[in-house]
Chain A
Amino acid sequence: MGGAIRKYWHVFLVGIQNNLTYRFNFLARALFGLIPLIAVLCLWKTIYRGKGPGGSVGSYSLAEMISYYLLMTVVDALTAVNEDDWQIAADIRDGNISQFLLKPIDYLWYRLSLFFSGRVSYLAVAGIPLAIFVTSLHRYLVPPAGAAACAGFVVAVVLTALLQFFTSYAMAMLAFWVLEVSTFIFILFAFEYIASGHLFPLDILPPALERALYFTPFPYQLYFPVSVYMGKTAGADLVRGLFVQLAWVVAAYFLARFAWARGIKRYAAVGG
């Protein structure tokens, strides 16, 4: 057990070193990413101005709406897969996974360690501009809804990261069957983008549509932790939500394992 932890800890450290060579890319990505964020905040401000003072959209005041986007950006920086899915697919396509079949390293844990190292290095670089930006808007930022919301938020963020990773990993397994997986990744990403709350908070949708989304894993990939922080999901709903999220994480994990087991039977180690 101790040996296993040391092994993957080492992978994590090497991953950080590798990732930090891309620090310029991370910085550019974080800075460019602020542009559409600023634009969408301006858009909402204009809409609220049209409503007059004290106006609201759904259950959101202007401050809450701006907080939503800021929190969403923070959670996204903490949990989004960066290039993990492309790299996994490339490893399969180029035959690089052959070495993992021979070594006492589990590819899934190996990639998870790299995913964490990617997030840590991304935050080390992008955290600074992001923190400055969030601080500059601090007068709009609402505090967490309470101690329970705070604790629930932390747990939900960890589960969100795991769900993001396992889904991407399972998706990348398609590389065993098709040569070019990027289209499939982009198609899934499109659904995830709108249904996980990247574009707008899900509870401003018509109620029937919002309820329907809760039958999919998408809200748990971003929206859920933010709604916990803001107290939109609290009490029994919060506990139930965390269990549903955990169930999706477990399901995605088994899907990833299953797809790997099926894929490896077809695997021909091209170029490996």
Chain B
Amino acid sequence: MNPTLDLDDVAPPARRVSRYFSIYAALWKNSVAREMTFKANFLLWILVEFLWFGLQLSFIGVLYLHTDNIGTWTKWQVVMLIGGSHFIQQIYQAFFLINCTNLSELVRTGKLDFLLLLPVNSRFVVSLRQVDLGAFVNAGSAIGVMAYAAHRLHVVPGAGQMLGFLALCLAGVAIHYSLMFLLATISFWTVRAQGIVYGYYNLFNIARMPDEAFPTTFRAVFTFAIPMLLVSNVPVRVLAGKLESNYSLALLLGMSVVCFAVSEWGWRKSIGRYTSASS
């Protein structure tokens, strides 16, 4: 038998997609079962995220006690931005976060062997193994906050705006995922990568701030090198009817493709260095 023969290479594309869907459905079932074993813990984690979300909103509330706008951003526009940013972060968290943070542990203990041997795309199974169901609940609270902010702004987004917003959110999720996955692959080079992975939390902080608050250099770095200022600012500008030019739309979509390509390159480079552990 040809040792490089892979099910992915022989099956027709349609069957391949449906096969991956059924694998993913099995992974979901596993995750549900796991979450339901520790119900109280599951609910407490939702509460934790909810508190931190409230905390960000209170910060904005306090800032706007002392000013009427940050650049051209008004209070409720920034509330919508915090909501949009939380929504994107929670969707990202639902699908990818645990898997990214677990990668260094898989490498350190050598458990990655088991995943590499499965007859599926390795990146697929490493990235999507667990689903964080609580994050969907928190994404719901983010939608609530955005809707309330829209109401206070007297903004009624049209269907086109909504679709555009959702599509741009997906691009934002792709950027968060690609960058964090890239950071997680550092664990192939040093065993103490956990600190770096958690460092990514600090970048989320920037994603929820209004882009106009920053001077040129800072904005350039966090737009073209680490596109944190695009991830939620652009979708929320679309939703709030605050978009200045279509250039930023193209930039967000373009950067999401670039980030994904770079992370794929990083993954391939890193996996080539993998030498298992304790076996």
Choice from B68, B192, B200, B203 contacting A25 with Cβ under 8 Å: B192
Q: Do residues A42 and B66 form an inter-chain contact, with CB atoms below 8 A?
A: no
Distance, CA A190 to CA B209, complexed state (A): 19
Map CB proximity to B onto A172-194 as digits: 1 under 8 Å, 0 otherwise.
00000000100110110011011
Q: Do residues B213 and A46 form an inter-chain contact, with CB atoms below 8 A?
A: yes
Choice from A25, A57, A186 contacting B66 with Cβ under 8 Å: A57
Q: Do residues A200 and B213 form an inter-chain contact, with CB atoms below 8 A?
A: no
Choice from B48, B67, B196 contacting A28 with Cβ under 8 Å: B196
Map CB proximity to B onto A14-53 as digits: 1 under 8 Å, 0 otherwise.
0000000010111011011101101100110111001100
Q: Do residues A36 and B206 form an inter-chain contact, with CB atoms below 8 A?
A: yes
Closest to B55 in A: A194
Choice from A33, A43, A183 contacting B213 with Cβ under 8 Å: A43
Q: Do residues A35 and B205 form an inter-chain contact, with CB atoms below 8 A?
A: yes
B47 cross-chain contacts in A, Cβ below 8 A:
183, 187
Q: How far in angstroms is the closest Cβ of chain B from A89?
A: 14
Q: Do residues B202 and A194 form an inter-chain contact, with CB atoms below 8 A?
A: no
Q: Do residues B65 and A36 form an inter-chain contact, with CB atoms below 8 A?
A: no
Q: Do residues A190 and B51 form an inter-chain contact, with CB atoms below 8 A?
A: yes
Distance, CA A148 to CA B71, complexed state (A): 40
Q: Do residues A50 and B194 form an inter-chain contact, with CB atoms below 8 A?
A: no
Choice from B51, B62, B70 contacting A46 with Cβ under 8 Å: B70
Interface of chain B: mostly helix, strand, loop or mixed? helix
Q: Say yes or no: is B59 at the interface (Cβ < 8 Å to chain A).
A: yes
Distance, CA A42 to CA B65, complexed state (A): 18
What count of chain B residues pass the 8 Å CB interface test? Answer: 38
Distance, CA A217 to CA B195, complexed state (A): 29
Q: Do residues B41 and A183 form an inter-chain contact, with CB atoms below 8 A?
A: yes
Q: Do residues B59 and A194 form an inter-chain contact, with CB atoms below 8 A?
A: yes
Distance, CA A183 to CA B41, complexed state (A): 7
Tell me which of B45, B66, B67, B69 has the highest count of chain A C-beta atoms within 10 A of its own C-beta: B66
Q: Do residues B195 and A25 form an inter-chain contact, with CB atoms below 8 A?
A: yes
Map CB proximity to A onto B23-67 as digits: 1 under 8 Å, 0 otherwise.
000000000000000100100110110011001001100110111
Map CB proximity to A onto B190-222 as digits: 1 under 8 Å, 0 otherwise.
101011101110110110010011110010000
Q: Do residues B199 and A32 form an inter-chain contact, with CB atoms below 8 A?
A: yes
Tell me which of B47, B59, B190 has the highest count of chain A C-beta atoms within 10 A of its own C-beta: B59
Choice from A186, A193, A194, A204 contacting B65 with Cβ under 8 Å: A204
Q: Do residues B48 and A186 form an inter-chain contact, with CB atoms below 8 A?
A: yes
Distance, CA A180 to CA B3, complexed state (A): 45
A186 cross-chain contacts in B, Cβ below 8 A:
48, 52
Q: A39-B209, A46-B213 are in contact. Are A24 and B192 (CB under 8 A)?
A: yes
Choice from B41, B59, B63 contacting A47 with Cβ under 8 Å: B63
B195 cross-chain contacts in A, Cβ below 8 A:
22, 24-26, 28-29
Q: How far in angstroms is the closest Cβ of chain B from A130?
A: 15
Q: Do residues A187 and B48 form an inter-chain contact, with CB atoms below 8 A?
A: yes
Q: Do residues B51 and A183 form an inter-chain contact, with CB atoms below 8 A?
A: no
What count of chain A residues pass the 8 Å CB interface test? Answer: 36
Q: Do residues A190 and B66 form an inter-chain contact, with CB atoms below 8 A?
A: no
A26 cross-chain contacts in B, Cβ below 8 A:
195
Q: Do residues A24 and B190 form an inter-chain contact, with CB atoms below 8 A?
A: yes
Closest to B43 in A: A183
Q: Do residues B66 and A58 form an inter-chain contact, with CB atoms below 8 A?
A: yes
Q: Do residues B205 and A39 form an inter-chain contact, with CB atoms below 8 A?
A: yes
Closest to B214 in A: A42
Choice from A22, A32, A180, A206 contacting B38 with Cβ under 8 Å: A180
Q: How far in angstroms is the closest Cβ of chain B from A90?
A: 15
Distance, CA A26 to CA B194, complexed state (A): 11
Choice from B48, B58, B71, B214 contacting A39 with Cβ under 8 Å: B214
Map CB proximity to B onto A66-84 as digits: 1 under 8 Å, 0 otherwise.
0000000000000000000
B38 cross-chain contacts in A, Cβ below 8 A:
180
Q: Say yes or no: is A199 at the interface (Cβ < 8 Å to chain B).
A: yes
Would you list which residues of chain B between 160 and 180 have a CB under 8 Å from chain A? none
Q: How far in angstroms is the closest Cβ of chain A from B203?
A: 7
Q: Do residues B218 and A183 form an inter-chain contact, with CB atoms below 8 A?
A: no
Q: Say yes or no: is A124 at the interface (Cβ < 8 Å to chain B).
A: no
What 10 pairs between A and B have smallest CB-CB spacing? A32-B199, A25-B195, A183-B44, A36-B205, A190-B51, A28-B195, A57-B66, A46-B213, A32-B202, A186-B48
29 A-B pairs within 8 Å (CB atoms) are namely A24-B195, A25-B195, A26-B195, A28-B195, A29-B198, A32-B200, A33-B202, A36-B206, A39-B213, A42-B215, A43-B70, A43-B209, A43-B213, A47-B63, A47-B70, A50-B67, A180-B38, A180-B41, A183-B47, A186-B48, A187-B44, A187-B47, A190-B52, A190-B55, A193-B55, A194-B55, A199-B62, A200-B59, A205-B62
Chain B residues engaging chain A, CB cutoff 8 angstroms: 38, 41, 44-45, 47-48, 51-52, 55, 58-59, 62-63, 65-71, 190, 192, 194-196, 198-200, 202-203, 205-206, 209, 212-215, 218
